[in-house]
Homo-oligomer: A and B are copies of this chain.
Amino acid sequence: MQSITLKVEGMSCNHCVNAVEGAVKKLGATGKVDLNAGLVTVEYDESKVTVDAIKAAIEDQGYDVVS
């Protein structure tokens, strides 16, 4: 398992937390949002999902992954 922490802009409330964590979960990974810090920490199996796919899933929810 790998872990990555992404800086994500635009997450403002618990609905956003659910949207982002849900999108990551659909990939088979586990996301945890720190709303105040604007961070998403994702644990994932690198043999099954790529960082690019994780970033795309978050951006598809309407947020910007900035780093």
Contact = CB atoms under 8 A, between A and B. Distances in A.
Interface stretch (A10-18, A23-31, A46-54): A10-18
Nearest to A18: B15
Interface residues of A, number: 8
Contacts of A16: 13, 15
Interface of A: 10, 12-16, 19, 62
Contacts of A13: 10, 12-13, 15-16
Nearest to A62: B14
A14 to B, nearest CB: 8
A43 B65 CA distance: 38
A3 to B, nearest CB: 27
